[in-house]
Structure 1
Amino acid sequence: MRIIGVEVAGGAPVFTGTLSHGADPHRIAWELGFRIIRPLSATGSAPDLSLTVQVSRHGRDATLQPPRTRAVDPGLDLSDGTEPVVRQRLAAYGIVLSSRGLLATQFSDRTAVPGLWGLPGGGIDPGESPSQALLREVGEEAGQEPDISQLIDVQTDHWIGRAPNRVVEDFHAVRIIYAATCPEPTDPVVHDQGGTTAAAAWLPIGQWMRVPWSSGARTLLERHLRTLTRTVPAEG
């Protein structure tokens, strides 16, 4: 995936970089002398995606940042010489709101965090755009038909651990995050049975913190939910 930095929307690029395995777009921009203000667009289809971000010059010493390290799942023993399989996964997720609240999906026991809740979404299939992937995943995981309003964030994680199939992976997750609304919310139904989603539900906005969230989803909700709830109908 390419990262393109512009100082004004529609302006000429001030840098273009490649999001290599384990890289973070915020760090790439910082080391080139810029800070990311906000993402502007995610275009193209997987795996040839381009993420355009608005940036500003920070004027600081980019060498002062500590080196970025990979997390390793607790209890994982690599002393037998196991070489992790390198995998970068591009995915799209959404903070989906409606008059019924916030759409949430619960992780199944096929994941490393069964029982925790997250945002609907998932991997971007080859030839698919991030927005297409989000609409497909929300339909599969919750049976809803949202309208995407804007791109709001990009999130990355890098760790070594076991995949659901027990393969040890050097895993780089790249998540493109959208805001969306559902004009005609219905009772959520998980159509992708036997997958990574155990359940889906509309959570009242005022009660979203009462359920256990994955760390990445909680970070995104704490950052964006207050602003986004000003643009949706009141719960009824």
Structure 2
Amino acid sequence: MPVISLDHRVAGPPELVAGVLRETAPAAAAVARAGARLTAQAALLVAGDEVRVTLPGGLVGCRTRITRAGRDGLWSELAAGPAAALRHATRIVADGTGGTLVRDELAWTAPLGGLGRLTDPVLRRYGHRLLDARRDVLAERAGELSVAPVVVGAAIVRDGRLLAAQRSYPAALAGRWELPGGGVEPGESEAGALVRECAEELDARVEIGERLGTDLPIGRRVLRIHTARLLPGSPEPQPREHRALRWVGVREIAALGWLDADRAVVAELLGLLRP
């Protein structure tokens, strides 16, 4: 199985780089620079999602399935296509200076046995172009988001259930579900912003816990999720700015029509509810 890899450094923390790796738009931009086309149904990828890559000329395409997505990188494998096997792994670690070390690796098995191996040099050249393009796009997007405004969301858990809020506006998002929260104002901490937002949106008083998952790109902003709990004596949360609120359990979380960014942390949310 031929393997090619590229090691490089990104000037941004692993939490941010991990989020960019899951973003469809930069991935599509990198593939386009290599002369192909990438399409996906979600803006932020999670395990189980599939992406389609059409090679130059549009005659050959493949579908790859995300097998793992988290703080330490992104992994995918061939779901359908002309190759016998195809694996893509992007591993990330902190470099100790505030940046991130990235190892991007492609491995494949050509179709048709020995005859198919005649295509390996072509695939190797294309693979190197793709990895170079991914390096450049990753650095560009991480640099853009490193100075982006921050939005915070609260994963409020009570008695093994999570509080979900249904959007009432804008029209394009109405009816979909999210975690309560909002933008961090100048001079405000993330925890302070969440306390304020929960008071304004829910009429509830909360205590903020640890940060959950990775940074999640949402356009020109970055979403960060924190765990939270209702303080003793807090009023019951009310949908002051949402269409509805719902306390959901493990079996209900995955079935909700989450916004793309909130959907990206469903695995972590399930982990909060499981003993």
Under a length normalisation based on structure 1, what TM-score does the superposition of the two structures give?
Answer: 0.54
The residue correspondences of 1:1-236 to structure 2 (distance < 5 A) are 25-26=16-17, 37=72, 55=94, 57-60=101-104, 63=132, 65=134, 67=137, 88-99=148-159, 101-110=161-170, 112-152=172-212, 153-158=214-219, 172-182=220-230, 184=232, 187-191=236-240, 193=241, 197-222=242-267, 224-230=268-274
Distance 1:189 1:29 in 2: 34
Tell me the distance in 2 between the aligned counterparts of 1:102 and 1:64. Answer: 40
What does the per-residue CA deviation read over 1:33-75, in whole Å, with 9 as the maximum and x for residues that have no partner?
xx9649xxxxxxxxxxxxxxx72544558735273699xxxxx
State the one-letter code of the partner of 1:115: G
Kindly indicate whether the alpha-carbon contact (under 8 Å) linking 2:20 and 2:216 is maintained by their aligned counterparts in 1.
no
Q: How far apart are the structure 1 equivalents of 2:271 and 2:262?
A: 16
| Aligned-pair CA distance for 1:211 | 2.7
d(CA) in 1 for partners of 2:250, 2:18:
32
Q: For residue 190 of structure 1, what is the amino acid of its counterpart?
A: P
**Is the 1:36–1:55 contact (alpha carbons within 8 Å) kept by the matching residues of 2?**
no
Q: Distance in 2 between matches of 1:29 and 1:201?
A: 30
- Give the distance between the partners of 1:28 and 1:16, measured in 2 at CA: 14
Percent of residue pairs bearing the same amino acid type: 23
**Match of 2:183, as an amino acid?**
G
Q: Secondary structure at the match of 2:254?
A: helix
CA distance in 1, matches of 2:253, 2:17: 28
Alpha-carbon distance between aligned partners in 2 of 1:209 and 1:36, rounded to the nearest angstrom: 20
- When you count strand as a share of all residues, which structure comes out higher? 1
Aligned partner letter, 2:200: E
Unmatched segments (≥5 aa) in structure 2: 1-8, 22-69, 74-92, 96-100, 106-130, 142-146
Do the aligned partners of residues 96 and 27 (structure 1) sit closer, same or farther apart at CA in structure 2, a change above 3 Å counting? closer
C-alpha separation in 2, matches of 1:101 and 1:27: 27
C-alpha distance in 1 between matches for 2:153 and 2:19: 22
- Computing the radius of gyration from Cα coordinates, the structure with the larger value is 2
Rounded Cα–Cα distance in structure 1 between residues aligned with 2:20 and 2:247: 36
The alignment yields a C-alpha RMSD, in angstroms, of 3.9
